[in-house]
Amino acid sequence: MQKKIVVLTGAGVSAESGIQTFRDAGGLWEGHNIEDVASPEGWAKNQAMVLDFYNERRKKIINSEPNKAHTSLAKLEQSYDVEIITQNIDDLHERAGSTKVTHLHGEILKARSTIDESLIYENRGDITLGDTCEKGSQLRPHIVWFGEMVPMLEGAIEITKKADILVIIGTSMVVYPAASLIQYIQQGTSIYFIDPNRPKVSHDYNVTYIDKNAVEGMDVLLQKLSIEVY
Ligand code: OAD
């Protein structure tokens, strides 16, 4: 049976595709107030502004391409059972060819109803005030905001429990519950963390740090796993 690699990704894996991270210098949260654009309270206060924020992000993502870190992760499926759990709302893992991707924080290329969470629609265009679901309520981006439930969490926990190897890429590990997933690994699971800034992880875990950007770091990881660098 193939070994299972579970990969937790954050904004850093898409940085080399030209998509801004959140908390680095020049990151998205430097120019925007989190509460204004990523919380139910912000939405209640100014829906047009929130829609604009995500309309811009959607355009940026549609015009970006997967980078070599994304494609290396996709090719890893030739040797391992790979499951990706991403905090990213972009579709770059899927476009690179990864087949098992869980989006913990939602997907920018989907819209959803504000009165019925189960009404979710594929959506590549702008969402504007007055765009409604089939029940007549305003559409919003299919994004998990701060203070909201994380519906994909239970599934992500189950996936993490089965990891033989956990790879973490490009996340500051400050947003919960995503950062808590590491707690669910079995004893003996190897952990590799690719990030140029070595985010803090409890000393309880035996982590092999690869202090590099995602693209270069993935090459190092493949070498460590004795896989030919693509
Ligand atoms: P952050 O912006 O908090 O962290 C980005 C991480 O990527 C940092 O640790 C950087 O060192 C690292 N990084 C930067 N460039 C990199 C590169 N080229 N290669 C590899 N790593 C690089 O982003 P996240 O941890 O993903 O949620 O943020 C988590 C959540 O906070 C996001 O999903 C978003 C945000 O608020 C919501 O909006 C709900």
**Given 143, 163, 197, which residue is the final one in a domain?**
143
Task: Let me know whether 28 and 134 are in one domain.
Answer: yes
Taking the C-alpha atoms of residue 37 and residue 187, their distance in angstroms, rounded to an integer, is 39
Task: Let me know whether 128 and 34 are in one domain.
Answer: yes
Would you say residue 28 has pLDDT above 90?
yes
Task: Let me know whether 101 and 121 are in one domain.
Answer: no
**CA quadruple 159, 164, 169, 171: dihedral sign:** positive
Task: Let me know whether 223 and 170 are in one domain.
Answer: yes
Task: Let me know whether 28 and 79 are in one domain.
Answer: no
Q: What is the percentage of the chain residues whose pLDDT exceeds 70?
A: 99
Cα Rg of the chain (Å, integer): 18
In the reported structure, the alpha carbon of residue 113 is separated from the centroid of ligand 1 by a whole-number distance in angstroms of 28
Task: Let me know whether 97 and 200 are in one domain.
Answer: yes
Taking the C-alpha atoms of residue 138 and residue 167, their distance in angstroms, rounded to an integer, is 38
* Marked catalytic residue, from 70, 93, 105, 142: 105
214 lines ligand 1 (CB under 6 A): yes
Burial 150-165 (b: 16+ CB within 10 A, else e): eebbeebeebbeebbb
Task: Let me know whether 132 and 86 are in one domain.
Answer: no
Taking the C-alpha atoms of residue 138 and residue 129, their distance in angstroms, rounded to an integer, is 7
The number of the ligand 1 atom at minimal distance from the alpha carbon of 22 is: 2
196 lines ligand 1 (CB under 6 A): yes
Would you say residue 229 has pLDDT above 80?
no
Range of 39's domain?
22-63+107-143
14 lines ligand 1 (CB under 6 A): no
**Given 121, 143, 165, which residue is the final one in a domain?**
143
pLDDT at residue 27, rounded to an integer: 94
171 neighbors 86 (Cβ within 8 angstroms): no
Residue pLDDT, tens place only, 158-216? 999 999 999 999 999 999 999 999 999 999 999 999 999 999 898 889 899 999 999 99
Task: Let me know whether 59 and 154 are in one domain.
Answer: no
Task: Let me know whether 215 and 158 are in one domain.
Answer: yes
Give how many domains the chain has, as a whole number.
2
Q: pTM, whole model, 2 decimals? A: 0.97
Would you say residue 95 has pLDDT above 80?
yes
Task: Let me know whether 218 and 191 are in one domain.
Answer: yes
Task: Let me know whether 169 and 230 are in one domain.
Answer: yes
Would you say residue 230 has pLDDT above 80?
no
pLDDT at residue 89, rounded to an integer: 98
* Residue 102 CB burial class (10 angstroms; 0-12, 13-18, ≥19): middle
Q: What is the CATH number of the domain that holds 95?
A: 3.40.50.1220
What's the whole-number mean pLDDT along residues 115-125?
97
Band of residue 140 on the pLDDT scale cut at 50, 70, 90: very high
Contacts of 151 (CB under 8 A, 6+ apart): 117, 144
Parallel, antiparallel, or unpaired for β 81-86 and 139-143? unpaired
- Phi then psi for residue 158, to 5 deg, are -60, -40
Active site annotation includes 70: no
What's the whole-number mean pLDDT along residues 3-24?
97
Task: Let me know whether 35 and 88 are in one domain.
Answer: no
Q: What is the CATH number of the domain that holds 119?
A: 3.30.1600.10
- Phi then psi for residue 13, to 5 deg, are -70, -25
**Given 143, 171, 200, which residue is the final one in a domain?**
143
C-alpha distance from residue 85 to each of 24, 70, 178, 180, 203 (Å)? 21, 13, 9, 13, 23
Eight-state DSSP code of residue 116: -
Would you say residue 45 has pLDDT above 90?
yes
